[in-house]
Amino acid sequence: MDGGGLEVKSIKRENIQTLNKVDREACKAWAKAEKMHKEARDRREQQEEIQKYKNVVEAKLSKLTLTDKAKDLLRTLGPEQALSVLDRCEGPSVTNVSGFVITQAKLLLGQDSDSEGDGESQAKKASKRLLAVTH
């Protein structure tokens, strides 16, 4: 409260009294618009967070010398999973980074390490499932 002034941060629907039918309809329209605004804001925030993860993953990928296959497998994972794999491969105990990344990515995607030819289509299916779950 600044000099007797009051700033309203939000209005709850249950705190609004409607006087007539026109007001009631306006209140319903306002509540619907508020709900849509909240959902849009939540989606935007989620996309921004995913983009932040993607940026960190790409930055780490540029610092590491990985094979194209390892990079492709990492990109089929979700950004959070890819970052987790990259964080684990930074330790001194990992000697073959590309091999480690490929193995970890295949484990997360549910692929057998023996199936090389069908691996890309399985990876694409797994990434589509991940995208469907997150959206």
Buried-exposed string 5-31: b where 16+ CB fall within 10 A, e elsewhere:
eeeeeeeeeeeeeeeeeeeeeeeeeee
Parent domain of 90: 16-134
> What secondary structure does DSSP assign to 52-120, as a single string?
HHHHHHHHHHHHS---HHHHHHHHHS-HHHHHHHHHHTTSTT-S-HHHHHHHHHHHHHT--SS--TTHH
Has residue 6 been placed in a domain?
Answer: no
- Judge whether 103 lies within some domain: yes
Residue 46: what pLDDT?
Answer: 94
Q: What angle do CA 105, 55, 108 make, to 5 degrees?
A: 15
What is the pLDDT averaged over residues 89-118? 75
Classify residue 35: in a domain, yes or no: yes
- Number of structural domains in the chain: 1
Q: Is residue 8 part of a domain?
A: no
Inside any domain, residue 11: no
Q: Does some domain include residue 124?
A: yes
Q: Over the stretch 52-86, which tens digit does the pLDDT of each residue have?
A: 998 998 888 888 888 888 888 888 888 888 888 88
Residue 36 placed within a domain: yes
Give the pLDDT confidence score for residue 128 in this predicted structure.
Answer: 53
Is residue 61 assigned to a domain?
yes
